[in-house]
Amino acid sequence: MLQTFTKPSFIGDSWAFLQSRLQGTVIVPDDQRYDQARLAWNLTVDQQPAGIVVPKSAADVVEAVRFARQEGLSIAVQATGHGNVRPANGCLLILTSDLQGVEIDAQAQTAWVEAGVKWGVVLAKAQAAGLAPLLGSSPDVGAVGYTLGGGMGWLGRKYGLSADNVNYFEVVTPDGQLRRVSATENSDLFWGLRGGGGSLAIVTGMEIKLYPVTTVYGGNLFYPIEQAKAVI
């Protein structure tokens, strides 16, 4: 999460202008929704953003980034909040939780996943087609954030990292432009996003590869301590 303290607050007209440009929601510190909206998954992270935007679309993210540039605000992005290690103080906090689009293409074995979607949702939709994404061990972790960090999951030994199985990202870059990022389009950024975290651009969605999974084995094997040498 990239953020610095720049401004503690804005006059109401600035936030009202931003709200007029969005389908989503603007939440400011004197809003009764503010305390709930600013929470991270880790409740010890007591962040105090100057304002919060909850976008409904990539176009909303574009408007939020342009607003932040104009007003001299830094930006922090949060989906589920699992990755918060520093509080997003004094910045514009963009919550991607309402970006919930998931589309499965069973023939192409791909999934389009927006930035607020958790892995459990992707898995539930993919398994109906006999497919699975390269998710981790928790269904409650955000798919995009997990992938941007690399992502080593249950199928990793066979298919590699989650980050290596992205076809393309849809992102908003710091100049406020919506861009497609792939191996052939903005390839340097594509390289950086796949494992480099979320500080290079705001990812609003990604197309990922899915793989056929027909049988899953799970459980535990226990051996008496006397057999430890033979087992190991």
Contact 211, 159 (CB under 8 A): yes
pTM for the predicted model, two decimal places: 0.86
The stretch 155-180 carries a mean pLDDT of: 96
Decide if 12-95 and 102-212 have a common fold. no
In this predicted structure, the answer to whether residue 9 has a pLDDT above a threshold of 80 is no
Q: What is the pLDDT of residues 31-49, one digit of tens each?
A: 999 999 999 888 888 899 9
| Cα–Cα distance, 62 to 182 (Å, whole number) | 19
What is residue 11's predicted lDDT score, i.e. its pLDDT? 55
Q: CATH top-level class for 102-212?
A: alpha beta
The proportion of the chain whose per-residue pLDDT surpasses 70, expressed as a percent, equals 94
Q: Is the dihedral of CA 5, 9, 11, 15 positive or negative?
A: positive
Q: Which of 8-17, 184-193, 216-225 has the highest mean pLDDT?
A: 184-193
Kindly report, residue by residue over 72-107, the tens digit of the pLDDT.
999 999 988 777 666 789 999 999 999 999 999 999
Q: Where does residue 137 rank: exposed (0-12), middle (13-18), buried (19+ CB within 10 A)?
A: exposed
- Top CATH class of 12-95 equals alpha beta
Q: What are the extents of the domains in the chain?
A: 12-95, 102-212
